[in-house]
Amino acid sequence: MGPLHVRGVLLPGETETDLWIDGDRLSTEPIRGAETIASGGWIVPGLVDVHCHPGLDPDGPVPGVAAAKELALVDRDAGVLAIRDAGSPVDYRELDGDPEMPRLIRAGRHLAPPKRYLPHVAIECGPGELPQRAAEQARSGNGWIKLVGDWIDRDTGDLGPTFPPEALAAAVEAAHAAGARVAVHTFSEAALPALISAGVDSIEHGTGLDESLIGELARRGTALVPTLTNIENFPGIAAKADAKFPAYAAHMRRLHETFPQVVRSAYEAGVPIYAGTDAGGGVRHGLAAGEILRLHQAGLPAADALAAGSWAARDWLGLTGLTHGGLADLVVYDSDPREDLRVLAAPARIVLRGRVIR
The predicted-structure confidence for 264-321, as pLDDT tens digits, reads as follows 999 999 999 999 999 999 999 999 999 999 999 999 999 999 999 999 999 999 999 9
Report yes or no: 212 and 261 within 8 Å, Cβ to Cβ: no
C-alpha dihedral sign at 121, 125, 131, 135: negative
Please tell me the pTM assigned to this model: 0.97
Helix (H) / strand (E) containing 350: strand 349-352
What is the band of 1 on the pLDDT scale with cuts at 50, 70, 90? confident
Provide the pLDDT for residue 13.
87
Q: pLDDT tens across 169-226, in order?
A: 999 999 999 999 999 999 999 999 999 999 999 999 999 999 999 999 999 999 999 9
Range 342-353 average pLDDT: 98
Provide the pLDDT for residue 123.
98
Report yes or no: 329 and 79 within 8 Å, Cβ to Cβ: no
Percent of the chain having pLDDT more than 90? 99
Provide the pLDDT for residue 32.
96
Q: Based on the number of CB atoms within 10 Å of its own CB, is 120 exposed (0-12), middle (13-18) or buried (19 or more)?
A: exposed
Rounded to an integer, what distance in angstroms lies between the CA atom of residue 71 and that of residue 276?
15
Q: pLDDT tens across 11-55, in order?
A: 998 889 999 999 999 999 999 999 999 999 999 999 999 999 999
Rounded to an integer, what distance in angstroms lies between the CA atom of residue 87 and that of residue 89?
7
Percent of the chain having pLDDT more than 70? 100
Rounded to an integer, what distance in angstroms lies between the CA atom of residue 79 and that of residue 62?
22
Q: Domains (ranges, CATH) in the chain? A: 4-45+320-356 (2.30.40.10), 47-316 (3.20.20.140)
A 10 A CB-CB count for 240 gives: 10
Q: Phi, psi at residue 208, to the nearest 5°?
A: -90, 5
Rounded to an integer, what distance in angstroms lies between the CA atom of residue 296 and that of residue 51?
18
150 Cα distance to chain centroid: 19
Provide the pLDDT for residue 143.
97
Provide the pLDDT for residue 66.
98
